[in-house]
Structure 1
Amino acid sequence: MPPTLGALLRTPHLRLSLLAGQENQDRRVEWVAVSELEDPTPYLEGGELLLTTGVRWAGGVPDLRDYTRRLAERGITALGFAVGVVLEETPEQLRGAADEYGLALVEVGRETPFIAVGKEVSRLLAKEEYEGLSRAFAAQRGLTRAALTGAPAIVDLLARDLGAWVLLLSADGSVRHAAPASAAGRATGLGPELDRLRDAGMRASVSLTSVGEQVSAQPLATGRQVRGFLVVGTGGVLGPDERTLVNAAVSLLSLELERTAHSRTARVHEGVLAALLTGALDPLHPGAERLRETLPAPPVVVAAAGGAGPAHPPEGVLVTEIGGNALLLAGSEIGEDVLREVLEGPVGVSEPAAYGDLAPALSQAERALEAAAARGPGERIVRAGDLPGGLLGLADSPAGARMAGDLLAPLLRERAAAELLSSLRAYLAASGRWDAAAEALGVHRHTLRYRMNRIRELLPGDLDDPDHRAELWIALRLRGVPGR
């Protein structure tokens, strides 16, 4: 619960009484200050619960209207007066002035020390921060799950959690996805700001105010190449929890765009089949009539397998050997029995594709082959459509492995790398709670504290930085680090 004035008044052991300002109970108490100065306002920021004993009024109560007016204008949340220290009752003048200037006035009983009030406010502030951090981690896990279905799902969930409109833009500034869809028109006029971001680098961001809205834009990149932009529009300035969520979405979307770009890239191979797969040879060209006679009708699939292909494949099936792997092109209706007959060992099969989309199909087949090789002998054929998409699909790609490895490299070089990685994962999964993380690992909390101190020494970033935590969590997920 937030540390409001009402929350303090409802705390039984403080025994506080509200004498004026009933309407102010929902105001936040940012801190507790104690002052006996005639004018403490130069030392206040606003939002405080100011406590005083009235010691300067021992010889007689002066006119308190100016004193109360200055406190109200400074924006303090409430004034707390301790009775039974100097004066046995709260001065009537103070009550009247508080009513006049709309200042909440609280009476603090003789049995309540000021430090007890300060400790309760500190406790409530710490509880609020912990609850906010827990909400942020839960929202980040939701974004990670959404990444399984691709970038649009991340954008939709981010817009819902923030109560904002969100745009995913391509590198040229065009709209890839908008949440809600009606927000697509807000991309108009962002061109100059996007140019500034391209020049500033991948860690830059830009914020601007437009028609009562707060708009922020950040580049999406995993290296020096910007692959897109994330734009968020809200009704006000984002708080720490919301900024953490946006930064997590930036990391996830950057990885997703990198994965998508990688899946569209094909190596240049030799031979006719390689030319077909890379688009160097167009079977639909008017001069390719004889070639079309030997090709299966679209849609087609690409299959990849370890080892060599057959010397005499079935009719309508093209096979070649490149880099020690066999590549096959066939009609999408090809059955698994034919694939087993033609190809040996684990096999990866793409989704059906047109001849203009053979390069992405080849990437799908190669990724499916990697998954098939990692599985048991009973699952020799893996189809790309059965694999997870989105961010977690990066676990099988060079881009994801490289980025996760770079981030975790200081830990991976240690002799106790497995213990450090599992401890870091448990610590992040428990939102930094020592007891819960230690219990999940099955170790004593002092053992975990020793490991986390070592991790803090090794990692270049600040483990208390929510952005760094989010990047570490994603890297651990990509590397498949277990919780133990």
Structure 2
Amino acid sequence: MPPTLAAVAALPQLGLRALTEVRTDLPVRWVAVSELEDPTPFLEGGELVLTTGMRLSPDNVVPYVSRLVERGVAGLGFAVGVIHPVTLPDLVDAARDQGLTLLEVPQPVPFIAIGKAVSRLLAAEWYEDDTRAFQAQRELTRAALRGPGPLVARLARELDGWTMLLDPSGEVRHASDLARARRRAAELAPDLARLARETRTASITLSDKDDHVVVQGVGVSGRPRAFLAVGTAERLPRVAHTIVGSAVALLTLQSESPRTTRDLRSALAGLLLGLPPGGPAFPASPVRVLACAGGAAVLDALGDDDQCLPVPLPDGTIAVIVPAGAAERLMALAHQSGPVGASDPAGLDSLGHALRQARQALAAARRHRAALRYSDLPGQGLLGILDPALAQGFAETLLAPLGADETLVASLRAYIAANGQGETAARALGVHRHTLRARIQKAARLLGRDLDEPAVRAELWIALAVTANGAGPIGHPGH
């Protein structure tokens, strides 16, 4: 709100003297200096008019005051000691009779001092309004991240009133006071029905004995997608309209889904119906699947790149379908958040197989916090041609003598991965070389195999690679 006339009259540095009653509810929107007998054509209302009375006399003060009152000025300041030694008594009587606040301006005070003082008060008010609007916008944005319901509730607190969000048919979706909202929604139904027929975003302002209501359409094109209704005990000031506008903008962003999102939802619906994948939202085949260990941080690293289709997985990793041509760039971005495994190029009809490849690559990448492609893993070509059932039976039979001794299995795995180099395997396990030698000798005795033979180590490598996947597909790296 602009400063009131009472606040301006009370400024000690101006020394203004009230000659009639000073209304405390009148805002001063500007200061206007005029010596015209009729300045009203140049006024908008709400001004503090200043004059020396150059053209005033007892004969014309009554119509002069009448015109000012009719125009809606905040008050009149009359300077003494310039043209008139004292304020004209007839002017005082006319102002008192017609309810116009009349302030006497002492001779040492120039009109420009009053103008500057009011300007400072207005600037302070505008700054306060802007600060409040900024803080409110920040709170509304924070609430909007949790959905339209929290946003509507926060707006009611910011305005000290009630709020509700209605769909185009007038049904209440969210409200700060549900019981009151349903009653007011019924009262607003005729107006909403009219506004719903509009082909552009619409708004209305209503007032009754209970409160002042503002209704704004939500949406940027076509008929409104929803309506935001706000009710307050007093008319909304300028800053409140700014706050409501911010809420409408946030609700519009939530309601106006990007075209790519709608296309993607349509394409996914097609997949569920058994239709072939396609459409602008799907990356062109071939694609790669990335398995990323960075969790939600991966989504931040990839940003809003519309070439990515990310999917959070139950184990906390993120799978991302990407065009094969963009895979290297997107792998590098995802790798900023943790290890990444990438599948071989695949068609949209073999994404399940590509996901398994990506997970296998990620399992190896975790050991070195690297970004690995499935094709980079050793032995994938050989393992990929084995029959899963036969390979699993072979592996279980070969390793059965080791039983459930995980320490022995891990030691054997490290030994095989080091190509029989005991010193290297011991360092990888973090044990003394003599400890590892004893474990390997025990494993060789249980298996009945000579681990110095390359063919034996090859068979064990395959068996360890197969069993590392449990019931999964063959292809997990054997180290």
> Which TM-score tier does this pair reach, normalised by the shorter chain?
0.5 to 0.7
CA RMSD of aligned residues (A): 4.1
User: C-alpha displacement at 1:141, in angstroms?
Assistant: 0.7
Name the TM-score, length of structure 2 as normaliser.
Answer: 0.52
Gaps of 5+ in 1: 281-321, 327-343, 350-361, 382-484
Q: From the superposition, tell whether residues 208 and 238 of structure 1 become closer, same or farther in structure 2 (CA, over 3 Å).
A: same
Q: How does 1:221-370 map to 2 (within 5 A)?
A: 221=219, 227-258=225-256, 265=265, 267-268=267-268, 275=272, 324-325=288-289, 344-346=291-293, 365=312, 369=319
Secondary structure in structure 1 of the residue aligned to 2:17: strand
Gaps of 5+ in 2: 276-285, 297-308, 321-329, 342-479
For residues 113-154 of structure 1, what are the alpha-carbon distances to aligned partners after superposition, in whole Å with 9 as ceiling and x for unaligned? 222222322332233223212211111111011112211110
1:152 aligns with 2:149: yes
Q: From the superposition, tell whether residues 181 and 369 of structure 1 become closer, same or farther in structure 2 (CA, over 3 Å).
A: farther
Amino acid across the alignment from 1:79 = L
Amino acid across the alignment from 1:256 = Q
Q: From the superposition, tell whether residues 365 and 220 of structure 1 become closer, same or farther in structure 2 (CA, over 3 Å).
A: farther
Q: From the superposition, tell whether residues 139 and 345 of structure 1 become closer, same or farther in structure 2 (CA, over 3 Å).
A: closer
Q: How does 1:85-104 map to 2 (within 5 A)?
A: 85-104=82-101
| Distance (Å, rounded) in 2 between the aligned partners of 1:202 and 1:77 | 38
2:5 maps to which residue?
Answer: 5
User: C-alpha displacement at 1:189, in angstroms?
Assistant: 5.5
User: C-alpha displacement at 1:243, in angstroms?
Assistant: 2.0
Q: Which is further off, 11-20 or 186-195?
A: 186-195
| Distance (Å, rounded) in 2 between the aligned partners of 1:92 and 1:223 | 61
How many residue pairs match? The answer is 304
1:179 maps to which residue?
Answer: 176
Q: From the superposition, tell whether residues 93 and 192 of structure 1 become closer, same or farther in structure 2 (CA, over 3 Å).
A: closer
Contact 1:346 1:369 in 2 (8 A): no
Secondary structure in structure 2 of the residue aligned to 1:29: coil
Q: From the superposition, tell whether residues 211 and 17 of structure 1 become closer, same or farther in structure 2 (CA, over 3 Å).
A: closer
Q: From the superposition, tell whether residues 220 and 269 of structure 1 become closer, same or farther in structure 2 (CA, over 3 Å).
A: closer
Name the TM-score, length of structure 1 as normaliser.
Answer: 0.52
Amino acid across the alignment from 2:55 = R
Amino acid across the alignment from 2:34 = S
2:54 maps to which residue?
Answer: 55
| Distance (Å, rounded) in 2 between the aligned partners of 1:226 and 1:34 | 46
User: C-alpha displacement at 1:259, in angstroms?
Assistant: 6.2
Q: Which one of 142, 145, 152 corresponds to residue 139 of structure 2?
A: 142
Runs of 4+ in 1 over 6 A off after TM superposition: 370-373
| Distance (Å, rounded) in 1 between the aligned partners of 2:197 and 2:209 | 26
Contact 2:293 2:338 in 1 (8 A): no
2:167 maps to which residue?
Answer: 170
Amino acid across the alignment from 1:83 = V
Contact 2:156 2:162 in 1 (8 A): yes
Secondary structure in structure 2 of the residue aligned to 1:88: coil
Secondary structure in structure 2 of the residue aligned to 1:55: coil
Higher RCO by CA contacts (8 Å cutoff, separation 6 or greater): 1
Q: From the superposition, tell whether residues 348 and 244 of structure 1 become closer, same or farther in structure 2 (CA, over 3 Å).
A: same
1:115 maps to which residue?
Answer: 112
Contact 2:170 2:189 in 1 (8 A): yes
Say which one has the larger Rg: 2
User: C-alpha displacement at 1:52, in angstroms?
Assistant: 1.8
Amino acid across the alignment from 1:29 = V
